[in-house]
Structure 1
Amino acid sequence: MALLEFVLILLLHAEAGVSGGIIDLYNKPGDEVVLPCDIKPSSSSCSNVHWFYSRDERRAAEEEVKEGNVDENSARAARLSVNSNCSLVINNITDEDVGHYICGYWKSFDSDSYVFLNILTVSPSPPDADLQKDEVTLTCSLWRYSNINPCKQSSFRWLDDEGTELQDESVDFYVRQTNCVSNLTVKHQRDDNRRFTCQFVEGNSVKIEAHYTPDSTGSQNPEIQQTIIIIIMWTLRITGLILLIGITVVVIRGGRKKQLKDSKVSKN
């Protein structure tokens, strides 16, 4: 019953909101993130620390860390750990890690620490598009706890490889933003290695940015790739034939020299 009461109190805190002790973290997929437990421990160890996680308000909070130890039954147990500061460490984060985290000490509900983990991603559509021939849409998404107000219209910025902001009225680019997603349509480009940057801005401050550079190797014409493969194969065959001829000549010459030497020996 004590654990149930603890969970209910944490949920009430999350629904009512708090005025302090809130931390927003912004990261990208694959990062290692440290979620600080911004309260003083009741002892020198983390034996009394508990970490709870909620992806959105429709799901019940899950206890990921109990008395300083990661719950081995958690689907993320292999990527979770608790450091000496009682902070929760998550390795190789994905959008599945986005959400609301609460760190608290047993029977100390008034001093809980609240952490919101946000992740920014940039992905092309279609994934294998050729910028030299196709029109590509880059999607920049900020994944975050769903119980937060939607992003403002000016929350995203798109920059080119020179750091120049791309505007809606640009002929070659079109930006469309809904909630926490912004799309950039990139039309035919001569340079398929051009880099684009998506920034998430809040309060005139860039919280995080993600880059996208098209893979030039993946956009190569299939006929050209096939021609290159054929040339390489023929080059290997010719090289092998030359080596075989060279070895044969050496063997023949060596045999002739041996015959001449044997004949001289027999005459003597």
Structure 2
Amino acid sequence: MADKCDLCLLGLIILSSLLTGISGVDDHVFISSGEYVRLPCNNALSDCKSKTAWNYNSFRRSAAVELITGGIKNKDTERHERLSLESDCSLNIKNVTEEDYGLYICQQWIYVNGKDQRQGPDARVYLHVLHVSVSPSSSSSSSSSSSSSSSQTGISPGRSVTLSCQLYLYTGFSCDDLVSYEGVELLWVNQAGVDLKTDSRYQILSSSDQYHCIIITLTTTLLNEDNNREWRCQLTHRNQLKTSVRYTVKYSGEKTVLEEPHNVSNTKVYQYH
């Protein structure tokens, strides 16, 4: 029994170290796809334009990508046009996509004795992206490049629709630990904020895979009264709302639009201590 307790304690210590990070405090930013996000650099020096470097790590890449070097954007990166560096060394990303999730590292460099030297600890920011997709898809569907919205035509009463809400989350620990110890949760709710699991007309299923730490799908058959009805996928951490995506049903040849609610602060940054 003592051995089992020792193993449990060791597991909690390891989890705590992963949440805390090498520098003592890591920033975790939750954002919905299509939005604008600011990633803070907590080790900033006075001259960010000449001394700052931002690197990006993802499970989908074998090596880190240099986004900013010496305060200058690297033009050979695919997200070059969507990046900008602020005077406080923070990194801005516009029109966030699910491909942007990952670990961003801000480093500061100074010139000493004829060569560059890294100054202070790295500032680590984990960017987690919430994204919703709709099926079955339509050949006439389209998407917007300037906002987190997609549209689908051909939707009508009597059709079955499935909304898949996916959290692209970069961590050094398992999804089970994230849910159990940190209380991260995805929910489908109606306009009043009521959990749709309480309504038998909706099938709600949760799962995970290699890239999506949490997936929650909503499946239902559309009714006549569903026109202009709104469903929201919301992400909570320890029962506090972090970000959400809403889906509004449109009939009579109108487009079905997936859009961000305006009353949610999507650039909320919180820290694991």
Number of matched residues?
206
1:148-200 CA-to-partner distances (Å, cap 9, x unmatched) read: 42153871111112322112x53201110013100111223222221101111
- In structure 2, what is the Cα distance between the partners aligned to 1:175 and 1:109? 49
Q: Distance in 2 between matches of 1:127 and 1:219?
A: 16
Partner residue, 2:179: 152
Query: 1:44, CA displacement in angstroms?
Result: 3.2
Structure-1 residue corresponding to 2:264:
none
1:177 to 195, 206, 223: 206
| Partner amino acid, structure 2, of 1:202 | H
The amino acid of 2:174's aligned partner reads N
- TM-score, normalised relative to structure 1: 0.69
Amino acid at match of 1:72: K
- The Cα RMSD (Å) is 2.7
1:89 to 67, 81, 92: 92
Q: Which residue of 2 aligns with 1:188?
A: 222
2:83/2:94 contact within 8 Å kept: yes
Match of 2:6 in 1: none
1:243-262 CA-partner distances (Å, limit 9, x unpaired): xxxxxxxxxxxxxxxxxxxx
Which has the greater radius of gyration? 1
Counterpart selection for 1:20 from 17, 21, 24? 24
Q: Does 1:120 align with 2:145?
A: no
Aligned structure 1 segments of 4 or more residues deviating by more than 6 angstroms: none
Q: 1:136 aligns with which of 161, 164, 167?
A: 161
Amino acid at match of 2:179: K
- After the TM superposition, which residues 219-230 of structure 1 pair with which residues of structure 2 at under 5 Å, given as runs? none
Indicate how the Cα distance of structure 1 residues 135 and 72 shifts in structure 2: closer, same or farther if over 3 A, else same.
Answer: same
Instruction: Return the offset for 1:145.
Output: 1.6
Which residue identity does 1:182 align to in structure 2?
I
Match of 2:234 in 1: 199
CA drift at 1:109: 5.9
Q: From the two aligned structures, give the one with the greater strand fraction.
A: 2
Structure 1: runs of 5+ lacking an equivalent: 1-13, 221-268
- What's the offset of the Cα at 1:54? 0.6
Q: Aligned in 2, Cα 1:88/1:172: closer, same or farther, shift over 3 Å?
A: same
C-alpha contact 2:163 2:218 (8 A) present in aligned 1? yes
Q: Structure 1 or 2: larger helix share? A: 1
**TM-score, normalized by length of structure 2?**
0.68
SS of residue paired to 1:136: strand
Indicate the percent of aligned positions where both proteins have the same amino acid.
Answer: 31
Pair 19,111 (structure 1): closer, same or farther in 2 beyond 3 Å: closer
Please tell me the residue identity of whatever aligns with 1:188: L
Pick from 180, 186, 195: which aligns with 1:165?
195
Residue type matched to 1:158 in 2? Answer: W
Asked which structure has the greater RCO (Cα within 8 Å, sep 6+), the reply is 2
Paired residue secondary structure (1:152): helix
Structure 2 distance, partners of 1:31, 1:156, is 19
1:145, 1:109 → 2: CA distance?
26
Contact 1:22–1:115 at 8 Å: present in 2 too? yes
